[in-house]
Amino acid sequence: MPTTPEQSDTPPLGGIRVLDLSRFIAGPLCCQILGDMGAEVIKVERPGGEDSRRHIPHYKGHSLYTLNYNRNKYGITLNTRHAESLKILEDLARQSDVVVENFRPGTLDAMGLGWERIHKINPRTVLVSISGFGQTGPNRDRALFDAIAQAASGLMSMTGQADGEPTMTGAFLADHIAAFHGVMGTMMALAARAQTDQGQHVDIACFDALFACMGTLPSAWRMLGQDAHRSGNRDHITVPANTFPAADGYVYLHAGTDALFPSLAAVMGRPELASDPRFVGQHDRLANVEALDDIVRGWTRLGTVEQIGKELAAAGIPYAPVATVAQATDSAQVHARELMIDVEHPGLGTLTLPGMALKLGATPGSVRKAPPLPGEDNADVYRRLLGIAPERLDRLRADGVI
């Protein structure tokens, strides 16, 4: 019988240094995950801090954006438009295993630190570029925020009620999924480096990452000529699978497979529905979706969310109450999985921040450092890594370089 290996004191990315030149969500989250797994992450901001430090909501005067996506990082400041900054950036990149940036394509080249230059000063460095539309293609120079990716990818056209307008999702999916792709790209490039001793340029686009989540829909269009349409919360291929009203809220249930539907029919006290010609197979149920959803809706309206949930759970039918953010955050499952954790900040006290969704049994991640203030670690990083003397640090600070 397999055994669980004992936890190691050595984190999976121990010894890896990441230079984080990114801001907002996608790049910072990518670097935070690398930091959670043991990498030494050095976050570079302009003096005064990145733009997202001014985004609401604020906690004790600090944006939750920077608090949520920047733990386990050393914070330094550098005015990249100052003449002296390029040499400092080059020295930092030379000593880094990974450089992560999410500027528009071409910006890093204009700064004098594009891929060719990075590869020249340290052939082993991996450059991870996270942009809106990627380094190639007709849209490469266009700016992108999350909702732009949702609109351009087709996701927005699929979201919302059938008779309503295209709708953006309530969370920034493109940014987060791009961050996860950034982590995967980083790990694959480091694995390749172990074989070749060479770094490479990893090109991640928010648009690409979100479009890749569209599943079978693009292929259905290309291969079958079937374009997709909004259908609210109803599943596209199985019925019943939808959000249904209860006496005190809403519940989502999925009993659309041929194995699950008879169980739902029995739970509803309508076992004859399983042999009704309209509902026997998946195609039959799809052809009669309105009639079947009306039947299920009539049943759910008679019970509370809790009552319905108990009956569905007992029958092994997948379901979930439609929770608010507050209810989900305070749920026993989130608590058990440590998806919200307390982090002690030296200036702000206890912060409750998202935990680690990535679970490794033998080499789990850890929180070693609270999100830094702008330039919090200037003295440490610049002296430890670059050997800059205190007198020069004072001059760089006075000259507006750091």
Active site positions, annotated: 175
Length of the chain: 402
Residue closest to 230 by CA, chosen among 282, 169, 281 = 169
Q: According to DSSP H, which parts of 111-250 are helical?
A: 115-121, 146-153, 155-158, 173-196, 206-211, 217-224
Contact at 8 Å (CB) between 71 and 356? Answer: no
d(CA 225, CA 222): 6
Q: According to DSSP H, which parts of 315-389 are helical?
A: 325-329, 332-336, 378-386
Residue closest to 27 by CA, chosen among 54, 55, 11, 50 = 50
> How distant is the alpha carbon of residue 8 from its chain centre?
27
The C-alpha angle 186, 191, 192, rounded to 5 degrees, equals 100
DSSP string, 112-139: T-SHHHHHHH-TT-EEEEEESS-SSSTT
Residue closest to 65 by CA, chosen among 400, 371, 402 = 371
Contact at 8 Å (CB) between 67 and 347? Answer: no
Phi, psi (deg, nearest 5) at residue 230: -65, 140
Neighbour tally for 349: CB within 10 Å: 11
Neighbour tally for 48: CB within 10 Å: 12
